[in-house]
């Protein structure tokens, strides 16, 4: 996302469509166009409603705003347009997420940067359920893998668990960044992200000539609507899950591949660390419909996305 660090790879032949950090399905690049898109912006882009409304189309449903760079004791950079960009994006109906540009070169520096990011997000009134991205791409990073883990751990300790890791494809290929959270891959001039399990793919830095980055959202993390103002980190405004009776859902994805099991449902969900294989069967304890989309509870707070089952439209045999 940092304009001085871009890569262009050779033409690929497969699009790996991940479910969160679940196993991906190989699909022609043309099918990527079926997914919602989201922009990312920094101080280089405008901060007025006109600009954001020009982005807010049936295809573009979210925006990731650069908030910070470095730490309070280091660069202490806060995007001077962030406040106006957040408000303009929200007024335009776009889901707002935030990103931090990493400069850390030790675990301590990483934790300091996480605190700076969290403090600034709190000051801007963004809730703990906001999607927060660690932009890990700067060539000066000496140990980006371990330092990023430290950054993520500190950010989680501050209550921000809806995390995503962003980097260029080559860094994921070379294991320079962790994959313990959903990943967002930058890869231009190709027809796929070329990284397994990509939750999102940044495919251009000049969408429609607007000098703005654009990405496909394969999981809905960046585009599913949610109120991310302070205090809205739960599903309080959503309907109560309904108990099901004798309901069993079978995973219907792609043979040999799996889908993610989530903690929670909807836009506030987080990855549980488990994946459910194609054709496996699961007893559904509860179901809930959010914005016309069904989610199934398979025990405790573990949920699956109904669209990847043989019952995408819910069960009618309710108790």
**Model pLDDT, residue 3:** 40
- Are 126 and 53 members of one domain? yes
pLDDT at 227: 42
Answer yes or no: do 32 and 99 share one domain. Answer: yes
For position 265, what pLDDT does the model report? 87
Token pair listed for 105: 């070169």
Whether residue 260 is contained in a domain is answered as yes
Are 114 and 209 within one domain?
Answer: yes
**CA 7 to CA 17: how far, in whole Å?**
21
Residues 53 and 95 both lie in one domain? yes
- For residues 27 and 154, state if they share a domain: yes
Residue 208 sits in the same domain as residue 92: yes
User: Domain check: are 144 and 278 in the same one?
Assistant: no
**8 A C-beta contact, residue 130 and residue 161:** no
pLDDT of residue 114: 98
- Rounded Cα distance, 191 and 3, in Å: 21
Provide CB contacts within 8 A for 187, sequence distance 6+.
7, 9, 12, 168, 169, 193, 194, 195, 201, 202, 203
Residue 204 lies in a domain: yes
What's the confidence (pLDDT) of residue 59?
78
Domain annotation covers residue 230: no
pLDDT in tens, 247-301: 899 998 777 777 778 888 887 777 676 778 888 999 898 999 987 789 999 888 8
Say if residue 69 is in the same domain as residue 212. yes
Distance separating alpha carbons of residues 174 and 137, to the nearest angstrom:
13
CB 309 within 8 A of CB 277: no
Domain that holds residue 157: 15-217
Q: How far apart are CA 194 and CA 272, in angstroms?
A: 24
Residues 69 and 154 in one domain: yes
pLDDT at 9: 30
> Is there a domain that residue 4 lies in?
no
Q: What is the mean pLDDT of each run of 10 residues along the chain (319 residues)?
A: 38 29 36 79 96 85 97 95 96 95 98 98 94 98 98 96 96 95 94 88 94 91 65 50 85 78 79 80 90 86 89 80
Does residue 128 lie in a domain region? yes
Task: Identify whether residues 118 and 182 lie together within a single domain.
Answer: yes
Q: What residues form DSSP beta bridges with 26?
A: 16
Specify which residues 282 forms β-bridges with: 249
236 CB burial (10 A radius; 0-12, 13-18, 19+): exposed
Number of domains in the chain: 2
If we measure between CA atoms, which residue out of 225, 255, 191 comes closest to residue 97?
A: 225
Residues 103 and 150 in one domain: yes
Q: Quick one: 199 and 282 in the same domain?
A: no
CATH number for the domain spanning 33: value is: 3.20.20.80
Which CATH number covers residue 276? 2.30.30
Q: What is the pTM of this model?
A: 0.67
């Amino acid at each position: 996302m940092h304009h001085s660090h871009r890569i262009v790879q050779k033409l690929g032949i497969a699009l790996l469509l991940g479910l969160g950090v679940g196993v991906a399905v190989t699909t022609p690049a043309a099918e990527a166009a079926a997914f919602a898109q989201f922009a990312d912006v920094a101080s280089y882009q405008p901060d007025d409603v006109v600009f954001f409304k020009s982005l807010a189309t049936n295809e573009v449903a979210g925006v990731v705003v650069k908030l910070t760079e470095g730490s309070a004791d280091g660069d202490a950079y806060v995007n001077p347009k962030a406040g106006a960009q957040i408000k303009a994006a929200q007024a335009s109906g776009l889901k707002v997420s935030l990103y931090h540009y990493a400069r850390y070169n030790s675990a301590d520096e990483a934790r300091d940067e996480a605190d700076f990011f969290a403090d600034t997000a709190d000051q801007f009134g963004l809730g703990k359920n906001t999607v927060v991205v660690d932009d890990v791409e700067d060539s000066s990073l000496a140990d980006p893998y371990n330092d990023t883990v430290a950054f993520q751990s500190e950010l989680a300790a501050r209550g921000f668990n809806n995390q995503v890791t962003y980097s260029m494809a080559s860094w994921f290929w070379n294991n320079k960044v962790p994959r313990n959270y959903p990943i967002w891959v930058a890869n231009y001039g190709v027809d796929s992200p070329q990284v397994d399990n990509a939750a999102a793919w940044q495919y251009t830095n000049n969408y429609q000539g607007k000098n703005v980055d654009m990405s496909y959202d394969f999981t809905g993390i960046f585009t599913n609507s949610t109120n991310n103002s302070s205090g809205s980190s739960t599903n309080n405004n959503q309907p109560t899950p309904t108990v099901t009776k004798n309901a069993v859902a079978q995973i219907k994805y792609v043979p040999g591949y799996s889908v993610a099991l989530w903690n929670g449902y909807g836009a506030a969900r987080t990855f549980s660390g488990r994946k459910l294989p194609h054709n496996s069967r699961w007893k559904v304890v509860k179901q809930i419909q959010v914005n016309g989309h069904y989610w199934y509870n398979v025990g405790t707070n573990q949920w699956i996305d109904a669209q990847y089952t043989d019952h995408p439209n819910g069960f009618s045999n309710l108790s």
